[in-house]
Structure 1
Amino acid sequence: MRKIGKQEIEDIAVGAALLGTGGGGDPYIGKLMALQAIEEYGEITLLEGDEVPEDALVVPSSMMGAPTVMLEKAPSGEEAIEAFQKLEEYLGKKIYGTFPIEAGGVNSMLPFATAARLGLPVIDVDGMGRAFPELQMVTFYLDGISATPGVISDEKGNTMLLSTINNVWTERIARAATIQMGGSVMCAIYPMTGKQLKESGISGILKLEEEIGKAIRLAKVNNVNPIQEVMKTVGGFELFSGKVNDINRKTETGFARGEAKIEGLNEYKGETLTLSFQNEHLLAQTEQRLVCVTPDLIAVLDAETGLPITTEGIRYGARCVVIGIPCNPKWRTAKGIETVGPKYFGYDVDYVPVEELVKKGVAL
């Protein structure tokens, strides 16, 4: 158990944007919400997973929708409170604590804002170890934990109680409702026990995000390469370096979809890297070779500062470095690949671990 204050939030926000692989919502907006909550309610208690009672009711805090929508429709925080209270009413039990459903920009910050306002602790566990675009793409789904009963809520005061036959149907119904509710909603889904969280979740994600943010912050102070420091912290690999020369991005069916093309510089001169994303970066390839593919993490960093660039933040002319990070082993199982591998997203490539691609590459 320890307390989280403003500096920790600043560092976690940077790390969350990186592990969010371009998605998970705008980290800046999430950071502001968390900082305001600390100003109003004081520092927030952070628990390790093994500090949570086994019979406790725990619920992740999350936002669903296209990250681009947040540029025009920032959440107030009331939506999450409403969703949690409605779920408590339905279950007839108080929620013990909350945690991030994913390691995404806003979705790593929301638990702090929600916890502060409700007087709850935040638990250092998540359900992905990165960010993915759909509700069933969590380790809880791999272990048979139901997403419902659950509640989604918008800024207008609308709430919807969901009870579905499986988690894929939760995604379908909630996504359709999200579009009608303005493109983004707050969620209180995947209610579970402390025992289920400890067995199925990915522990230590907030600590890792904090270490990433701290590494980038101290690199500037110590005048060292921030990208090298990040790769040491996460066990990652440099995949490509260059300048963004094209970006095609649109919001449709509740997602930010598109491609970014990066013209290679230095040792990558003569190659062009294409990044394909659906909220998150899912595929990186040049004309000749496969570079990295989901469920491994693809992150785009500013070449000078090392700060992560989100899918909605990619701009023409930006100089960047693309890095790859091995995913949690849970995603490299048969069910994990079936759930979040390239074939699920319609890419006609097989999953190859990023460390193997870095060693020998795979020709296209």
Structure 2
Amino acid sequence: MCQETHVNPLVEVHVRLLNEEAIRNIAVGAAVLGTGGGGDTAVGLFMALEAIRRNGPIELLNVDEVPLDALILPTSMMGAPAVSIEKLPSGRELDIVFDDMQAALGKQAFATMPVEIGGGNALVPLILAARRKLPVIDADAMGRAFPEYQMVSFHLHGLGARIATFADERGNRATVHPIDGEWGERICRPLVDAMGASATVCDFPLDGDEVRRCAIPGTVTQAEKIGALISGTSKRTADTVVSELVTALNGYLLIEGKIVDLKRHTSGGFTRGSMVIEGAERDSGRRVTVNFQNEFLVAQDEVNVLATTPDLIILVDRETARAISTETLAYGMRVVLLACPCDAQWRSKLGIQTTGPRYFGYSVDYEPVESIARRLA
């Protein structure tokens, strides 16, 4: 849990500290919000725990506690999640991209924050914050994970990518000045490919006013709460935990069964493919196909589309209720497929154009998951 401490009367900030328990819960919850992507949480969790053991717990600030003129530097990983499992970071990359960004801007950062709360990218800024004694902002730019550079709430508000710094485990580094998020994807994806399809990045530098206006607030705390719910699985049945998870997410259970077909490959810096879930028990006789590009994008049975991006499509283990990522899918896994609404920003016209199913090449229109559920009930 977050440990509450004191209120500083000079700055009127209610300081909360993230301890080891909080970090572990964030990792579990972020895997759920990753919708299959965002990178593996295991390495990030190990590095974050080591960082706070050496340097102490991490301050977590609400968006409205950030000074309007403060510099906020989001940090993350970019590339194919499947690659990040085998190509481990050296530990230097995060410091390199952060220092290169500060040098380029000529200003010291006040805090860092996640770009995406989904998967391992939720933990990257926590590692940096512990090392540099910086606060982390309780917000991100997705409310989940998305596969492409421009798929951030900052883009929806017309904020340019401005500048991005990159580094890999070999010591290669680069600074890029894309004119917007879409050009950032075009320019930076080949760069990351050249770095082995996985690299550390610091991008979308923001001031406090922009964070307040454009970020999705409260998502670090949301991940922590989801993780705390799941971590109590040993005390309750898996059915109970899945039911509680669906309720916590305002979501829907799409199918329960096992993976009977799986196609997966890495190309263009993404983990791509599809899987088929064959229903069991009350879902016996049903089959649901899920397509993915790092994240799960479209779920449909033999007749109907059940959920699409930008809503969250989430796969959890039938026995533990822990999230399963696209890079760890395996034939025969017993799974439960869920879906829940995305943040309202993604349901705007530009949000759907940027992250909806037609952007990824699927010939279906976006329909809110709750609308689909009512229609098919």
Give yes or no for TM over 0.5: yes
- Which residue does 2:263 correspond to in 1? 248
Q: Determine the C-alpha separation between the residues in 2 that align with 1:324 and 1:29.
A: 27
The one-letter code sitting in structure 2 at the alignment partner of 1:88 is Q
Note if 1:205 corresponds to 2:233.
Answer: no
Structure 2 residue ranges without an equivalent (≥5): 1-14
- Which residue does 1:109 correspond to in 2? 123
- Which residue does 1:314 correspond to in 2? 329
- Which residue does 1:294 correspond to in 2? 309
Cα deviation per residue 1:247-303 (whole Å; 9 max; x = unaligned)?
111110000000011111122222211110000000001111111000000000111
Structure 1 residue ranges without an equivalent (≥5): none
Distance apart, 1:28 and its partner CA: 1.2
Cα deviation per residue 1:167-198 (whole Å; 9 max; x = unaligned)?
11111111000011111011110001011001
Contact 2:161 2:179 in 1 (8 A): no
Note if 1:18 corresponds to 2:32.
Answer: yes
Contact 2:26 2:224 in 1 (8 A): yes
- Which residue does 2:60 correspond to in 1? 46
Q: Determine the C-alpha separation between the residues in 2 that align with 1:128 and 1:327.
A: 9
Contact 1:77 1:113 in 2 (8 A): no
- Which residue does 2:88 correspond to in 1? 74
Q: Determine the C-alpha separation between the residues in 1 that align with 2:350 and 2:309.
A: 14
Q: Determine the C-alpha separation between the residues in 2 that align with 1:317 and 1:19.
A: 23
Please say which of residues 249-258 and 150-159 is displaced more in the overlay: 150-159
Contact 2:341 2:370 in 1 (8 A): yes
- Which residue does 2:7 correspond to in 1? none
The one-letter code sitting in structure 2 at the alignment partner of 1:119 is K
Q: Determine the C-alpha separation between the residues in 1 that align with 2:262 and 2:93.
A: 32
The one-letter code sitting in structure 2 at the alignment partner of 1:250 is H
- Which residue does 2:243 correspond to in 1? 228
Equivalent pairs: percent with the same residue? 44
Cα deviation per residue 1:299-325 (whole Å; 9 max; x = unaligned)?
001111111111111111111110001
The one-letter code sitting in structure 2 at the alignment partner of 1:62 is S
Aligned match for 1:139, one of 131, 149, 153: 153
Aligned positions of 1:170-189 closer than 5 A:
170-189=184-203
The one-letter code sitting in structure 2 at the alignment partner of 1:122 is V
Contact 2:27 2:123 in 1 (8 A): yes
TM-score of the pair, normalised by structure 2:
0.94
Cα deviation per residue 1:136-163 (whole Å; 9 max; x = unaligned)?
0000000011112111111111111111
The one-letter code sitting in structure 2 at the alignment partner of 1:40 is R
Distance apart, 1:220 and its partner CA: 2.6
Contact 1:220 1:226 in 2 (8 A): no
Note if 1:259 corresponds to 2:277.
Answer: no
Please say which of residues 232-241 and 131-140 is displaced more in the overlay: 232-241
Q: Determine the C-alpha separation between the residues in 2 that align with 1:11 and 1:359.
A: 32
Q: Determine the C-alpha separation between the residues in 2 that align with 1:124 and 1:255.
A: 28
Contact 1:260 1:275 in 2 (8 A): yes
Distance apart, 1:218 and its partner CA: 2.4
TM-score of the pair, normalised by structure 1:
0.97
Q: Determine the C-alpha separation between the residues in 2 that align with 1:280 and 1:16.
A: 13
Please say which of residues 28-37 and 58-67 is displaced more in the overlay: 28-37
The one-letter code sitting in structure 1 at the alignment partner of 2:193 is I
- Which residue does 2:365 correspond to in 1? 350
Partner SS state of residue 297, structure 2: strand
Note if 1:124 corresponds to 2:138.
Answer: yes
Please say which of residues 221-230 and 148-157 is displaced more in the overlay: 221-230
Distance apart, 1:233 and its partner CA: 1.4
Q: What do you get for the CA RMSD once the two structures are aligned? A: 1.2
Distance apart, 1:222 and its partner CA: 4.2
Contact 2:233 2:320 in 1 (8 A): no
Cα deviation per residue 1:190-232 (whole Å; 9 max; x = unaligned)?
0010110011000000111111011112243245711011112
Note if 1:193 corresponds to 2:219.
Answer: no
